[in-house]
Structure 1
Amino acid sequence: MSKTMRRILLCVFIVCWSSSFWGQNQKISGPVISKFAHNADQFIGYDSFGYLYQIKNNIFSKTKGNEFFEYKNISLGNITRADIQNPLKIVLFYEDFNSAVLLDNQLNKMTEINFSQNPVPIAAGAVGMSTQNQLWVYNTLNQQIGLFDYLKNEYKTVSIPLTESIKYYQTDFNSFYWIDKKNNLFLCNIFGKISSLGNVPEFEKIEIIDPQKYIFKKDNSLYFRSINKTNTSTDLEIEILEKSFDKFCYKDQILSIFTTKEIVNYKIVIP
């Protein structure tokens, strides 16, 4: 073998070894900025004003310092989901009673919606805040995504029927994200256009940051995945101290970890 060929092979080996080394060892880390004990059943997250939201004994509450507000509605059963995207209009979804409640910033009831009373038959399987006085609603009767105007009490379907059942969903004002039972990730915008965002790995919990980024929990570890324009994905482990945790949320570069005894907040910068 010539010297030139040996040099080429050596360079290839070094490049491959370096890529493998960095791919296996690159991690995201950040300092713990706060931690405190709690006795809640479920941690919802923080809003942009620094209020913490949680559920205890089916009572929804928000706290900050000495401020404390709560809301409970025994007649609607258990809270299925809480949407705090808009702190001035919080959405509580009660799936068992096919209903949703909108709360103001002091958790006073503004509107109660019974989807069963709508002229258009609706069995809500997913509900979240959207834009212009509207809620995202996934109607399990026709397996379509729609928008419900809670001021006019009007519902309109925007998507075509989904071909697979929803395993997980998440909404923002302009988008309805969902993962089907085959772990395919999709996005529907307010005009009903559906975009395929690829396949996600097996997960226990997941939080979508944007169409190209999400954080997921697997085997009590957290990973950040980014997808580039060529649909190539990169996974980085997020280093945390907790060996077991129930939930996490990421907002404004703060990663909050919810365990059975405490909430731990890390300063994490996602690349």
Structure 2
Amino acid sequence: MLFFANNIFAQDYTTQKIQEIGLIADRFVGEDKFENLFYINKNTLFRKSQDRIVEYKALQLGDISSVDLLNPLRISVFYKDANTVVILDNRLNELKRIAFDRIANFKMVDFCTTANDKSLWIFNADTQELEIFNYNQEKSALQTLPISENIINQKSNFNFCWLQTENGYKQFNVYGSLIKEVAVKFDALELYKNYILLLNKKGDSYYFNYKSEELSNIEMPKIDYKQALLNNEKLYLYDGKKINIYKITPNN
């Protein structure tokens, strides 16, 4: 199914600031459902709770490419240059480390995010296929057909994976089937439950309910920010000094 930005729009949304939290870091990663803050500083991952700060670092693996907090009990930390993913528990203790160039079926991985049942969504750079990789068995359960477009980024939840392209995104299910293509240009994609936030720093941003296929404009705050994240029905904008937290509400 191909969906365009000029489809019928639903009600527009706006943002209302509800909180700000001071934070000096190289990168803000997000907040989990236990209200722990995660961030990266000097290539070290930190988890800050109300009473303590814990950290994880594996400097020999190079720069942290991405951190996925979808399952806060099994956090995936991907190091693209080392072709390696590390699985951490909620206290940032290492549970498992997978070097994709050392497994039986060598894989060169561009993107790696959390799937279900101790599995990962990985994008294989050699085959240009999206795969569901079981990291206990160290093998892929399935893969999609090769994808011809250039893949810019990847986001996922337990049931679906979204690949950002230069012209929009492609949505795949856990069976490896392409179920939707959306032709909306955007800078970044964030998701929470049934909603996808398509962000543009210049131009319109969209709030998309992929279950009902309702596309809405969203009025973004007029501030400069380095990162934007969507979680727990809240929008987080990090400007390098503080996390600005907003509630997303429909216009009346």
TM-score bracket, normalised by the shorter chain, equals: 0.7 to 0.9
**Conserved 8 A contact 1:62-1:70:** yes
Q: 1:270 to 1:45 in 2, by over 3 A?
A: farther
Q: Choose which of 15, 18, 28 in structure 1 pairs with 2:14.
A: 28
Looking at both structures, which has the greater relative contact order when contacts are Cα pairs under 8 Å and sequence separation is at least 6? 2
Is 2:61 the counterpart of 1:76? yes
C-alpha distance in structure 2 between counterparts of 1:58 and 1:34, whole Å:
27
Is 2:122 the counterpart of 1:134? no
Partner of 2:157: 172
Q: Determine what percentage of the aligned residue pairs are the same residue.
A: 24
Partner of 2:176: 192
Partner of 1:12: none
Partner of 2:6: none
1:98 Cα shift?
0.5
C-alpha distance in structure 2 between counterparts of 1:212 and 1:224, whole Å:
10
1:165 Cα shift?
1.7
Partner of 1:259: 239
Q: Which structure 2 segments of 5+ residues have no match?
A: 1-8
Which structure shows the bigger proportion of residues in helix conformation?
1
Partner of 1:224: 206
Q: 1:255 to 1:76 in 2, by over 3 A?
A: same
The 3-state SS of whatever aligns with 1:75 is: helix
Paired letter, 1:194: L
Q: Could you tell which deviates more after superposition, 70-79 or 256-265?
A: 256-265
Structure with greater Cα Rg: 1
C-alpha distance in structure 2 between counterparts of 1:121 and 1:89, whole Å:
24
Is 2:222 the counterpart of 1:237? no
Paired letter, 1:217: N
Q: 1:229 to 1:177 in 2, by over 3 A?
A: closer
Using the size of structure 2 for normalisation, the TM-score is 0.87
Using the size of structure 1 for normalisation, the TM-score is 0.81
Is 2:248 the counterpart of 1:268? yes
**Conserved 8 A contact 1:98-1:114:** yes
Partner of 1:91: 76
Is 2:93 the counterpart of 1:108? yes
C-alpha distance in structure 2 between counterparts of 1:229 and 1:34, whole Å:
29
Paired letter, 1:192: G
Paired letter, 2:183: N
Q: Deviations over 1:234-257 (max 9, x none)?
A: 32323x2x5211111121222111
Q: Deviations over 1:68-125 (max 9, x none)?
A: 1100001100000000101100000000010000001110111010000122120011
1:260 Cα shift?
1.7
Partner of 1:206: 189
1:204 Cα shift?
2.9
Paired letter, 1:198: V
The 3-state SS of whatever aligns with 1:96 is: coil
